Structure 1
Amino acid sequence: MTILQDTVITSSDYQNDSDFLDLASYEDITNGICKPNFLIDVMGKVSDLGAVATVQAKGVDTKRVHFRLLDASGNEIACCLWGKYAEQIEKHLEEESDEIEICLIRFAKISHFRGEVQITNAFDASLMFLNPTMEEAVDFKQKIEDNPLPLAIFDQDNEKKIMKTAAENWNDVNVRCISEILQSVEPENCKIICSIESIDTDWGWFYFGCNRHNRRLTKVGRNSSVKMNKSIAPQFYCDVCRSTCSNFSPKFKLHLSVKDDSEACRIMLLDTIAMTIIGVKASELWDGSFAEIEDPDLLPAPIQNLVGKSFCFGVKITSDNYSNGSDTFKVSEVWSGDYIQRIESLSEPLSLNETNSSTLSGGEIPAIECSNENSSEDFATPKNKRKEDGRDQMDMTSTSKKLCSKIVKKEKTEK
């Protein structure tokens, strides 16, 4: 649409609440029916999400992220997002308690890279929504759940192979030692049973988030870089609302140092997950002050009381852990009490410092060692986990082995 000097623009009483969403078919995109001269709307299930990287684009450092979208019929398409869209995904992964399942990109651009059709942002004109709640997105998610499909993707050598998706049912996820997850070389979900050693006060225990979108807010205005008065609220900007936000509240973001019999690591719990172990909302512990925290070691009592307690945490191992060497894992689920006791009933008791927790590598076998399936010497076994009977220890050196209960008859031989 071109506006000339003699163009006349008048107001209209016409109103329409429609989002005017016109989702393009994956087949039409890959077959060339959708022309690259026009921007399109595309939505799909996120798979093979890579790490957000900083690269040089025209001499400027720019964030970039690669992933693939899957439609309800099993078709998929490559995506590459730049700049603020890659930063939006990075913020979601750092601050939100839920993983990215559905992605909607409006006014997306069709491009080609290394002979493959891909979706990218049209400079700053595109709009991206992660886990949208509109009716079309809810219907799409329901179709995906009703018709689970394997994900067939291309790797960097453009060779087609089947990728195994991370288990979404935490009942099917094995319990692992911390020493094992620190040595992981691929993304996966797992459980760890550990005790909380300390609260990492290098990070604040809360942030201000939008109550509508549960997104972290950015302090804006002339008071954004100065120390605030205790009772005067600064202005906050929401990336999703695309405006200043007045409906906000404190949200939990806890960094904990945890330990089991094998090793120690750090975990991060966001608002709703942290609330399950603290028992109250962050707004109930907040003192109402907008001033900068002068002494980070002064924590509310319910948070301090977490030290020494044991939980079973469902953690996600991401590329930041196995590629970048980060020892901080994001927590997606928490269990305690009877759940831990049920796991302990399947295993040989192990000692944690002043706790009753146990650590095992799988919920199906009665006892295991923290070892790789291909090698039993990669990790040292704690003394209290070793059996006195050497035969038992020999039979249980792999997490995939079970004790043989079948009696084998020996053939009689004549003297």
Structure 2
Amino acid sequence: MSQFNVVSASSSFRPTRHAFELNFMLRTRIALSDDDGSIHHFGFSFVEAQRIISGELDPNILVDVIGRVYNMSQVHQSSPNDSKNKRVTVDIEDAAKTKMGITLWGSYADQIVNFVSKGCQGPVVIVCQFCKIEEYARTRSLSTSMYATRILINSDVEEITQFHKGLLPEDRNTPFNPFVGCALLTTSPTEAAFSGLALSPVDLLQHSGNGDVICVIAQVLQVNKEKGWYKIEVVVYDEFGIANLTVFDRNAFNYLGITATDLGAESGKIYLNVEDNDGWPKKLDSFVGKKFIFKVGIEVLEWNVFTFLTVQKMTDNPTILYKYSVHCLPQIDLTSVMDDLTTPDMNKSKQLLRGDGRRLSFHDVEASPSKETPSTCKRSATDLSDDGQSSGEFMMNIDDALKKVKIEKN
């Protein structure tokens, strides 16, 4: 190589821990040379799976692992023509007997599928070089990087040969368990978002830890009109409890088919033409009474013991609802316990204003100075506990709403 630059590897996300990197330019020249046996072809730097799982390693730096494949999932793909979103998960066991999952995407998924289709005999050892450390619901695993990752499966390289030699007799005689034929399982992006999550009752939302991701099926009781800043706040319930969930513009758009900006403009026109209109977009009332499956992220601020329940994904797709409904806990007759239901402690369930930059506000609100900070024009966290209804008023409104449901059911 000639005419290239050597610069400091200062970016936070990079494939290796090397202090420097090479920059190729238009005048850079590269030519093949004779093989030099002293230079390793791949330059592996393997790490133990336990170091990845424990969170010891920097997730911004790609890692190399080697292990025996003992399980393989079906191939998931959003559509037959969407090969980039094809994925398959393999579970490996390293030399220390620590198990870990690796998600292979796109062409990397094709690589393992093609290997399996040829019919493999005996143990399968895989090397995954330059993989990303992913964390989901406090569980760490690996995923392929878009262009950097290299996959070697039972290849004729020294590291794989030595790993085979170190396998115990029971490992050599136990092939991994792939889905025969690796049939394509077409999965929509929405369904894939709920994959791997167990169904939980609503009351578990108030008792989960910071960073948890909980999946619930619940019915929308009401949309809080006082909570229209950057979000929609919906009150949902199931047989076991009630909770306030924050829904941001993206998920609201997927259901309503209209963005917050367009909905606000539409509502403003109606407000100008109708004297008794309260400025509330009537389309938001379409949430009420509907049953959804929610993927909810939990965030707890220790300093004020607030629990924020943010909807990461939601759908009323009947197919997805049915798949999860078969795993529902035994139902309780709501008419027999309706009067005993109470809302969670509002000091612990207030929803923080935490958005993605788009404001779900449908008419101009002139907020008092006590509700905004001069620098950001956003409500401070200390004001959240005093905003809107008190806990007692909220509980009375919920009780009234639930009694109406009870009367209607009777």
More helix by share: 2
Structure with the largest fraction of strand:
1
TM-score, normalised relative to structure 2: 0.35
